[in-house]
Structure 1
Amino acid sequence: MLAFIKEHRLLVPGEPLVVAVSGGPDSVCLLHLLANLKEPSLKLYVAHLNHKLRPEADDDARYVKARAKKLNLPATIEARDVKSHQKKHRQTLEEAARAVRYQFLSEVAQNIGASRVAVAHTRDDHIETILLHIVRGSGTRGLKGLEPLSKLRCQYGGVITIVRPLLEASRNETLDYCAEYKLNPRLDTTNLSLSPLRNRVRHQLIPLLKSYNPAVGEALLRLGQIAGDDAAHLLAEAQKLWPKIAEESNDGIAFHRQKFDRLGVVPQRYLLRLALEKMVGDLKDIENRHLSELMQKVLGQPAGKKINLPYGVTFLGDYDRYRFVRNIDNLTRYPELDGEVTLTIPGTTRFSGWRFTASVISLEKMKKDADPFTAYFDLDRAGKDLVIRSRRRGDRFEPLGLGATKKVGEFMISAKVPAYQRDRVPLVISKNGSIWLVGYRTDERVKVTSGTKRILRIHATRPSAGSAARR
């Protein structure tokens, strides 16, 4: 095991290592092996979570506590309510137990200043994981199964590094080791249940496959190795493309749309996976179907298409970018608009973070500036009974210079207003309809002419950067 640990650099010299110990043969074997490595710089810390799901769970916790004490190792042993988590998050019991367990391990690691957690996954777990990924329709990367070292994003935040020192050992070898050293590990009877999918793979599918090929385990491991090598090569190619095509910011990750569309399907898929990995840290809940769905429904589709992904991430297509974002509000300085307000003329009107300043001026004082947030109107045509609100179904106006009426929504599309911003653009309304789509275009019918006697000037001040996200 020491050679495997050194080959894959599983330990950080001088840093404590959390060892997840359930009390079963695999984890007890792992703890005993690590404790007997005689590595002076190796500082072990035992962590055990009582899931409160089995009558014998308290006995398991006492066993682990005694085992840690015998080895003179510090330990954190806690109990948490997995069933409440399952009900709250609508997960299977297996998913809830995993989420609660890794959250616990992450907290233990953080509390003692460790960056890595050792778990007792064996070669058998590796084979089962490859089969599970095949059954679930995983992509090539999923076929590589478990890795000696991997990152894991926890549900409530934080990323931990998981190390698997026993990945080359079989389950039978850990049982034999425990018997040789008289460790008397605990046995979890739920591992015999056929309810969890992994148990059905273990007790039904693998024996069936062995009837076709007695060496199916080795065959699957070779498949995992080949898939891992292929995936590593494709990932390296995607990383070369990354600086040419991707932009990272506090708001998320964006791809240059035209450059991305010119790529083949395989580099696109790997760039998307790489972006998601950077966003969430762990792709456990990001399945191949998610990637296929966003590639079919967003890539190459009209701007405005979007898909919600696990971990609160949204993938959307803009006119010039494909974007992964956590909060769409961060993409725009336009806050959500609440109701409507009457414009004070003359005076200042505040509306959903905006400030509108209206004044009546003469033709001589009118400035021909290019500020899209300042507009001039023939007051006698526009009238003083003006309101400000967001767009509604059926709103139309006659955009200045277009020579025809147009639906406000259609104009926004032609003006390439992002879909997530369209309902946030203020609209100034008179008794005769829309007269100003703020920041974009005024209405032909109320334009200032040489015969205009009174000019209404309206200046709109956008909310400060970040205020949209704070609302």
Structure 2
Amino acid sequence: MLEFSKERILEYLNSKGQRYLTDPSNIKPVYFRNRVRNELLPVLEELNPAYLSVLSKNISLINEEEKFIKKLAADTCSKLLKKQNGIVDIDLQDFSNLERTLKRRVLREAIFSIKGDLLRIEYKHIETVLKNYKQFGFTLELPGNVLIYRDYKSLKLGPGDAFKPQKIRKSIVEVGKKISLKPDSSYFESSLVKKCKSSSLAVCLDYDKIKPPLVIRSRKAGDRFKPLGAKGTKKLQDFMVDKKIPKFSRDSIILVEDREKILWVAGYEIDERAKIENGTKKMLQLRIR
């Protein structure tokens, strides 16, 4: 009906002898819609008599493209969103490869699958996720008790009470070999390297300062380490509090240790006593992928 003016519609009704009602509230300027209809649109028509036709065509194009994007987003979500035990899991690599427009749609669909609606979910919430999701440990609480958390390999969404601690199985690590980190299908590896590229999930240490064997495990009571740059050791619990690490995720953070000390709080910090210095001869890279 948008392509037909009010005059044409009334003309048609009169030609058919069809009676109609006029809503008197439509002429009251107290409503914004009436000001648009009665004040703005006549000015647009005066400036461009064909504005209604142009507007109608543009809206039709937008509707067609919206249908296409919805279909594309639905297909993407069916492949990308994995829901188990009330938590939606989004693979980080696949998500990162999407165009920003599709990322927004995927996030909204994931939130909808948790909440059942999108009430109070605003543009700023989605943009905050898009800005920070590459940062390990990123956490955001959304209206309606929805929690978003970025772990080692995925972005997880679910009700706040659905997230439960998942401890890391204690394992001995041989240099040059990989160890699977269930249940998120990521793995840990260590290797001697000549050049090192560091990130939150890849660090390099002075191999000669390490006392093998290497062990990966979850935290335990009394854990201490010496954060990079610190003068003394610090309780791991205090470190996690200072870093604002959510309580539910603290047991699932990987610790790498040798016979004497914690070497790496994976995703956060290495130990000062294992750092690379000018005299370092061998570099050991620890990485989670």
TM-score by length of 2: 0.50
Larger radius of gyration: 1
TM-score by length of 1: 0.33
Higher relative contact order (CA 8 A, sep 6+): 2
Q: Which has the higher helix share?
A: 1
